[in-house]
Structure 1
Amino acid sequence: MSKPLKQIHLAAHFPGVNNTTVWSEPRAGSHIEFSSFAHFARTAERAKFDFLFLAEGLRLREQGGQIYDLDVVGRPDIFTVLSALAAVTERLGLTGTINSTFNEPYEVARQFASLDHLSGGRAAWNVVTSWDAFTGENFRRGGFLPQEQRYARAKEFLVTATGLFDSWRGGEIIADQATGTFLRDARVGAFVHSGEQFDITGQFNVPRSPQGRPVIFQAGDSDEGREFAASSADAIFSRHATLDAGRDFYADVKERLARYGRTHDQLQILPAATFVLGETDAEAQEISHEVRRQQVSGATAIKYLEHVWNRDLSAYDPDGPLPDIDPAPGENTIARGRASVRMFRDPLATARQWRERAAAEKLSIRELVIATTARQSFIGSPATVADTINTFVQADAADGFILVPHITPGGLDKFADTVVPLLQERGVFRTEYEGTTLRDHLGLRHPDAEADPSDQRVAS
């Protein structure tokens, strides 16, 4: 008996705080005007996507002591944008990244519970930590936490927020015979949490929301991040680009679920993916090559190289060879607020690998940066892209994908109009929404249907 086809999950990432967007494209629009967000969200909902995702930028990035102006500078407040989008969409999930390092559980829980009410049960929270003191300078506590402490705080933050979400579960309506009115049990909303990170006692003032609590996303790829996702998340982002790497990651994370009393269907794995469509595969390859050159200008290539070398490389020709000097040791002082800096834990080894590749393939600085920064992409005709996406999902390399277009806000339109119908014809993607909440779209159970969901979230 053949294995039944898995249903594909699709979502859309409104790109920001990066150089994904091709600004030279005449169709490129604003990243702050609401009309851009509304167009993007309506396209995603028209295509019956599960959700829209917004990243968070808490400080403008700097390089060499100046604002880094080669990518999107800034991001409107996530809750404001998602709340506004709730009014112009009906079924699309609304996912936002909110930091656990500099926020407080009560405030975040209240905001997400409110968004879940306003949207009719479509809210999701991507729980992240902050890694750098540079961002921390914007906040009262300042500084930053070592990796193990960041995850310890994140775990307790989520446990605390979950307690707040669940504080309205149960309780009774009490009739006051003397006045003829009905009062809610005073215990509802009461919470007490005492731990290493938080010590709070009070009463949560937002009633139980349609989803019980928002869907929880997590984006870490380290061992700590994978364990955090297995214990506490409903979905995890992945950045693994190949079929084999995707299958290895998928198997690893899914196998961790059992020790937290969870089943495979309680965690969805959704890699981010770019895409380029053409009438033919050959045309798409040509477009893709040009897109990558537009995303990585000469100036961008030099700035990116400085993340690794930790030196001012402005005198180097981006169309010339890599520097023959080694990266400067110690803390990176060139790029501040750049996530890519932390990806290069051994700059000397990275420099050696890049020199070897550049020499073997005769690559310039710019060509090397283009080659090394290419993420998982679906390139081809609509039929080719539909087939490739389906192959990844059916092979358990992913449960679906979060698509990142290179044009905003209209870059999702062609995918919605050409690729989605092909997936629907194959019977692997919905033709209509079957539920009203994001949990419905992702195939996740309501927390109230679980025996004791808070136990799963306390696991460490």
Structure 2
Amino acid sequence: MTKPLKQIHLAAHFPGVNNTTVWSDPRAGSHIEFSSFVHLAQTAERAKFDFFFLAEGLRLREQGGQIYDLDVVGRPDTFTVLAALAAVTDRLGLAGTINSTFNEPFEVARQFASLDHLSAGRAAWNVVTSWDAFTGENFRRGGFLPQEQRYERAQTFLRTAWELFDSWRGDEIVADKDTGVFLRDPHAGAFAHHDAHFDIAGRFPVPRSPQGRPVILQAGDSDEGREFAASSADAIFSRHGTLAAGQAFYTDVKGRLARYGRSPEQLLVLPAATFVLGDTDAEAQERADVVRRQQVSGQTAIKFLEQLWNADLSAYDPDGPLPSFDPRPGENTIARGRASVRMYRDPVATAREWRALAEAKNLSIRELIIEVTGRQNFIGSPATVAATINEFVQSDASDGFVLVPHVTPGGLDEFADRVVPLLQERGVFRTEYTGSTLREHLGIDRVTA
């Protein structure tokens, strides 16, 4: 029997604070003005994407005691932007990263329930943790939570928020033409939660929202992050860039679901990916080479190297060789506020891998950083990119992709106009929305209890 074609899920990431964006491109626009958010979101909706994703920045990054000014543009409040976008979109899901370390369940649950009402059921929450004291200083909680406890708090935070969402069944509000609106259940919204992290009780003020609960996203790639996603998330992001690595991640995460009473289709795997298009594959590759060198300038390469080495390397030539000494052990004090620093669990071992790669390919510092910091990247003609995306999904390396354009806000336009129609012709991507909520777009049941 022929295996039915999987439907591809696509999302658009508004990049903001990272080194993906090419600031020097003449098409680059503001990352603060509302018009930029509107352009990217409306392009994604025109292309029938599942959702728009906005990351969170709780503190400006620093390196060497100075503001990291190679990619910092600031970050407006996530809920404010998503609520405003709800008014200028109709079907597109609205996903935001909200931290579980420095917030409180009541406030976050109230905000997401409100967003779900305002958007008629399109809200999603990317649950993340923060372990560093540097970010915590903004909240007067620097270092209050040991790193090994961050997922414990995140899991408890999420479960507590679910209790608040579920404190309304959904049928408590009754409208009577004579007596007005009244509550069928006088206990609606009542909650009480007591544990090591939270000791709260009261009444949740927001009635059951259209989705019951917002869609839950998870971005952790550690073993703890994968387990958290398997137990609680509706979708998990990943950063695996090859077909084989994607398949291994996909198999691992989906294999964890059964012990939580969940089936494989209840968790979507959505890697982040960039793309560069051209009329031919060769033209696209030429463009991609230019883009990568724009993304990783000489200055940027040295800054990235400092993050691993935990040392001032400003005297090094980006077109020269790697340092001969090993990275400094201990807490990273050079780069502060960067999640990527946490990826290097064994900096000395990573440095040795980088040296071996640089020697094997005769790479300079900049050339090495270009190679090792690249994420999943689709390069080619529209036909090639459409075929490659489809191969990843049909081969169970992913269920779709979160696309990160290198130009904001218009970088998604060409993909929407030239690649999406080809996926639709293959019968693997919707031509129209068939539902109104994000859960319907993702094929996830509404939560009723």
Change in Cα spacing, 1:106 to 1:394, as seen in structure 2 (3 Å) is same
Structure 1 Cα separation of the partners of residues 110 and 278 of structure 2: 45
| Residue in 2 that maps onto 1:201 | 201
Does the CA-based 8 Å contact 2:170-2:208 persist in structure 1?
no
Task: Tell me the secondary structure at the aligned position of residue 126 of structure 1.
Answer: strand
- 1:198-254 deviation per Cα after TM superposition (whole angstroms, max 9, x unaligned): 111000000111001100000111111111101100111011111111111111111
Does the CA-based 8 Å contact 1:171-1:188 persist in structure 2?
no
- 1:400-429 deviation per Cα after TM superposition (whole angstroms, max 9, x unaligned): 000000000000000000000000000000
| Residue in 1 that maps onto 2:81 | 81
Letter in 1 for 2:70: L
Query: Deviation of residue 144 (structure 1)?
Result: 4.8
Does the CA-based 8 Å contact 1:38-1:88 persist in structure 2?
yes
Task: Tell me the secondary structure at the aligned position of residue 299 of structure 1.
Answer: helix
Change in Cα spacing, 1:379 to 1:194, as seen in structure 2 (3 Å) is same
Query: Deviation of residue 17 (structure 1)?
Result: 1.4
Task: Tell me the secondary structure at the aligned position of residue 3 of structure 1.
Answer: coil
| Residue in 2 that maps onto 1:356 | 356
| Residue in 2 that maps onto 1:273 | 273
Structure 1 Cα separation of the partners of residues 217 and 324 of structure 2: 42
Does the CA-based 8 Å contact 1:61-1:73 persist in structure 2?
no
Structure 2 Cα separation of the partners of residues 175 and 411 of structure 1: 47
Structure 2 Cα separation of the partners of residues 188 and 330 of structure 1: 50
Structure 2 Cα separation of the partners of residues 129 and 181 of structure 1: 40
| Residue in 1 that maps onto 2:333 | 333
After superposition, where does 1:295-314 map in structure 2 within 5 Å? Answer: 295-314=295-314
| Residue in 1 that maps onto 2:129 | 129
Task: Tell me the secondary structure at the aligned position of residue 379 of structure 1.
Answer: strand
Q: Determine whether 1:439 maps to 2:439.
A: yes
After superposition, where does 1:306-325 map in structure 2 within 5 Å? Answer: 306-325=306-325
Query: Deviation of residue 77 (structure 1)?
Result: 0.3
**Runs of 4 or more off by more than 6 Å in structure 1?**
178-181
| Residue in 1 that maps onto 2:407 | 407
Q: Determine whether 1:218 maps to 2:218.
A: yes
Does the CA-based 8 Å contact 1:18-1:71 persist in structure 2?
yes
Q: Which ranges of structure 2 fall in alignment gaps of 5 or more residues?
A: none
The TM-score normalised by the length of structure 2 is: 0.97
| Residue in 2 that maps onto 1:191 | 191
Q: How many residues align?
A: 448
Structure 2 Cα separation of the partners of residues 175 and 117 of structure 1: 18
| Residue in 2 that maps onto 1:112 | 112
Letter in 1 for 2:24: S
| Residue in 2 that maps onto 1:148 | 148
Q: Determine whether 1:163 maps to 2:146.
A: no
- 1:300-332 deviation per Cα after TM superposition (whole angstroms, max 9, x unaligned): 000110011111111111111111122222221
- 1:401-460 deviation per Cα after TM superposition (whole angstroms, max 9, x unaligned): 000000000000000000000000000000000000000100000112xxxx5xxxxxxx
Does the CA-based 8 Å contact 1:435-1:441 persist in structure 2?
yes
| Residue in 1 that maps onto 2:261 | 261
Does the CA-based 8 Å contact 2:116-2:211 persist in structure 1?
yes
Query: Deviation of residue 171 (structure 1)?
Result: 5.9
Which stretch has the larger CA shift, 348-357 or 297-306? 348-357
Structure 2 Cα separation of the partners of residues 327 and 253 of structure 1: 32
After superposition, where does 1:231-242 map in structure 2 within 5 Å? Answer: 231-242=231-242
Letter in 1 for 2:374: A
Q: Determine whether 1:344 maps to 2:344.
A: yes
- 1:333-380 deviation per Cα after TM superposition (whole angstroms, max 9, x unaligned): 111111121111222112222112111111111000001111110000
Structure 1 Cα separation of the partners of residues 359 and 174 of structure 2: 77
Q: Give me the CA root mean square deviation.
A: 1.6
Change in Cα spacing, 1:422 to 1:194, as seen in structure 2 (3 Å) is same
| Residue in 1 that maps onto 2:252 | 252
Does the CA-based 8 Å contact 2:285-2:380 persist in structure 1?
yes
| Residue in 2 that maps onto 1:20 | 20
Letter in 2 for 1:225: G
| Residue in 2 that maps onto 1:50 | 50
Query: Deviation of residue 187 (structure 1)?
Result: 0.7
- 1:66-125 deviation per Cα after TM superposition (whole angstroms, max 9, x unaligned): 000011332100000000100100000000000000000000000000000000100000
Letter in 2 for 1:336: R
Does the CA-based 8 Å contact 1:171-1:187 persist in structure 2?
no
Query: Deviation of residue 186 (structure 1)?
Result: 1.6
Change in Cα spacing, 1:182 to 1:308, as seen in structure 2 (3 Å) is closer
Letter in 1 for 2:141: R
| Residue in 2 that maps onto 1:457 | none
- 1:128-177 deviation per Cα after TM superposition (whole angstroms, max 9, x unaligned): 0002110000003222533331000000000000000010115656899x
Does the CA-based 8 Å contact 1:318-1:364 persist in structure 2?
yes
Q: Determine whether 1:100 maps to 2:100.
A: yes
Does the CA-based 8 Å contact 2:382-2:418 persist in structure 1?
yes
Change in Cα spacing, 1:421 to 1:184, as seen in structure 2 (3 Å) is same
Structure 2 Cα separation of the partners of residues 8 and 143 of structure 1: 41
Does the CA-based 8 Å contact 1:132-1:144 persist in structure 2?
no
Identity rate of aligned residues, in percent? Answer: 80
Does the CA-based 8 Å contact 1:170-1:188 persist in structure 2?
no
Which stretch has the larger CA shift, 253-262 or 121-130? 253-262
Does the CA-based 8 Å contact 2:61-2:72 persist in structure 1?
no
The TM-score normalised by the length of structure 1 is: 0.95
Does the CA-based 8 Å contact 2:9-2:399 persist in structure 1?
yes
Structure 2 Cα separation of the partners of residues 42 and 140 of structure 1: 38
Structure 2 Cα separation of the partners of residues 262 and 361 of structure 1: 45
Task: Tell me the secondary structure at the aligned position of residue 401 of structure 2.
Answer: strand
Structure 2 Cα separation of the partners of residues 217 and 276 of structure 1: 26
Change in Cα spacing, 1:181 to 1:76, as seen in structure 2 (3 Å) is closer
Structure 1 Cα separation of the partners of residues 203 and 140 of structure 2: 25
Structure 2 Cα separation of the partners of residues 202 and 384 of structure 1: 56
Change in Cα spacing, 1:439 to 1:173, as seen in structure 2 (3 Å) is closer
